[in-house]
Each structure stands twice: as structure tokens, then as C-alpha cells.
């Protein structure tokens, strides 16, 4: 019994941390939603700014992280989510420390021009630009992640106290929409407004575009919650799953 609980926590936690870390690492790439879908660039006007649907690659994975947050919250309660959130922040911080350390290493002579035939004149500069993110972006991302996680757990348990075990879609989607809203704006505010890179109007505009995407994805992924929920119930067995759900509710 305990073995299955441990395995479940390890599986969910591993996927949770892997997606959080990957989202941070690939977040430096900005892609065009319209062009990716084979559409003509469009965009929207917000506060006098024309904002095309350009997103960071990291937003592809954050909805998965928040869905897993809700599943972990459902079976392991606040303690489980908080443990994984703090652990993830520690691992992400460690990853960035090691990345900065590796950027500072002196490159081998052949490495610098090793990809010149592919149009990359200096591989060391390319490595630095791809992996080296500003301290404000790292700080903003980690703060937004922690605040978003705390908000997600709180709203999830608040809705659950009101609705009981029913309406998983409401507490999961509702908590995700709130946490994603916070996450979308906190990271941009710290990384770009406080650092003086962007004016507030532009930060808010970009935040709205990012949230529109996250809002749509959160709704689309709602059925996945029931698929995962049913799999966990079968994996653990109905009685064990029920006990865990009840225990998680008591710890809320």
C-alpha cells in the first residue's frame, strides 16, 4: 500500500519537476503562434500597443505543471505540493548556478568555430546567449512560480471545501486560472518592468496575451484531469485512493 503511494508521488513529482525545469530552460525562445499554425500574423491591440501572438516556449509546459499541482493537491494535500514546489525551486536554482558556471568556462579553440559551416560564427557566444538568462528573469520566474503554486493550492482547497468531492473540473480549472493569471504578470513585472526593460503598459499587454493562451489551454486540458484521476484510482485501488483523498482534505 505504502509502496504504491510512494511510487505515485515519485511519478507525479518527477513529471512535475521535469516540466518546471524544462519550462525554465526553453523559456528563452519566443515563437509566433500564428506562423507555427501556418496562419498570417494577426495580434491584438492593447493599451495602444500592437501585440502579435508571440509566446515564450516555456508557456507550453506551465499548464502541465499546474495540472499536476492540482492532482498532487488532490491526493497528497498542501504538504505534498509545497514540498515539491520548494524542491523544484531548489533544483531550478541549482541548474541556473551550474549554467552560469559553465558559461564562465574558457572554450576550447576548435569549439568556437565548430559550427561555422552552419552559420554560427561563435559557438561559445551562442551557448551563452541561449542558456544565459538575466538575473531579473530568473528571479521573476522563481518568485512567480512560488506565488502561483501557493495561490493554486489555496484556491483549490477553498473550492473543494465548498463543493466537496464533486466538481473536480471546477476546483482544478478555477485554481489553475487564478494561479496562471498571477504567474503571467508577476514574472513579467519583475523581469521586465522593475528591471527597466519595458514600460508598464507593454508588460501588462504581453501579460494579457500570455494569459489568454494559458486560459484556453487550461480549459482544453480539463478532461485530462479525469483521465489521470481515473488512472490513479485504478493504480492505488479504490479504498486506498479514497483514504488519501480524505486525508488530503483533512490537512487542507
Determine if residue 117 is left, alpha or beta; phi over 0 gives left, psi from -120 to 50 gives alpha, anything else beta.
alpha
Residues 112, 116: Cα–Cα separation, whole Å: 8
pLDDT at 244: 86
Helices 135-163, 2-26: inter-axial angle, 10-degree rounding: 140
pLDDT at 12: 94
Residues 201, 157: Cα–Cα separation, whole Å: 34
Note whether 93 and 61 are within 8 A (CB): no
DSSP 107: P
CB count within 10 Å of CB 85 equals 23
pLDDT at 1: 47
pTM above 0.85, yes or no: no
Task: Please give the class, per CATH, of domain 2-107+134-250.
Answer: mainly alpha
CA angle 241, 242, 245 (to 5 degrees): 85
* Neighbour-count burial for 104-141, b at 16+ CB within 10 Å, e otherwise: eeeeeeeebeeeeeeeeebbbeebbeeeebeebbbebb
Domain ranges of the chain: 2-107+134-250
Per-residue pLDDT of the chain (252 residues; tens, 9 = 90+): 468 899 999 999 999 999 998 888 887 787 888 888 888 877 777 777 777 788 888 888 888 888 898 899 889 988 899 999 999 999 989 988 898 899 989 999 999 999 999 999 999 998 888 887 666 777 888 888 888 888 888 888 888 888 877 777 888 888 888 888 888 888 888 877 887 777 888 788 888 888 888 888 888 888 888 899 899 999 988 888 888 888 877 765
Amino acid at each position: 500500500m505504502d509502496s504504491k503511494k510512494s511510487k505515485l508521488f515519485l511519478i507525479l513529482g518527477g513529471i512535475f519537476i521535469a516540466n518546471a525545469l524544462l519550462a525554465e530552460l526553453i523559456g528563452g525562445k519566443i515563437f509566433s503562434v500564428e506562423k507555427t499554425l501556418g496562419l498570417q500574423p494577426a495580434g491584438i491591440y492593447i493599451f495602444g500597443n500592437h501585440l502579435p501572438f508571440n509566446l515564450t516556449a516555456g508557456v507550453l509546459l506551465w499548464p502541465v505543471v499546474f495540472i499536476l499541482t492540482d492532482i498532487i493537491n488532490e491526493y497528497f494535500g498542501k504538504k505534498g505540493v509545497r514540498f515539491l514546489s520548494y524542491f523544484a525551486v531548489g533544483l531550478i536554482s541549482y541548474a541556473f548556478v551550474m549554467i552560469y558556471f559553465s558559461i564562465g568556462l574558457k572554450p576550447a579553440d576548435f569549439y568556437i568555430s565548430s559550427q561555422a559551416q552552419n552559420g554560427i560564427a561563435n559557438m561559445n557566444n551562442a551557448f551563452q546567449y541561449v542558456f544565459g538568462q538575466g538575473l531579473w528573469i530568473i528571479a521573476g520566474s522563481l518568485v512567480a512560480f512560488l506565488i502561483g503554486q501557493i495561490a493554486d493550492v489555496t484556491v483549490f482547497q477553498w473550492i473543494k471545501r465548498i463543493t466537496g468531492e464533486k466538481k473536480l473540473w471546477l476546483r482544478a480549472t478555477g485554481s489553475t486560472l487564478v494561479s496562471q493569471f498571477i504567474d503571467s504578470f508577476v514574472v513579467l513585472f519583475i523581469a521586465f518592468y522593475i528591471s527597466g526593460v519595458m514600460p508598464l503598459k507593454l508588460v501588462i499587454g504581453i501579460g494579457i496575451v500570455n494569459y489568454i493562451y494559458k486560459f484556453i489551454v487550461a480549459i482544453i486540458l480539463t478532461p485530462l484531469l479525469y483521465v489521470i484521476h481515473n488512472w490513479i484510482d485504478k493504480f492505488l485501488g479504490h479504498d486506498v485512493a479514497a483514504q488519501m483523498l480524505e486525508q488530503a482534505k483533512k490537512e487542507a
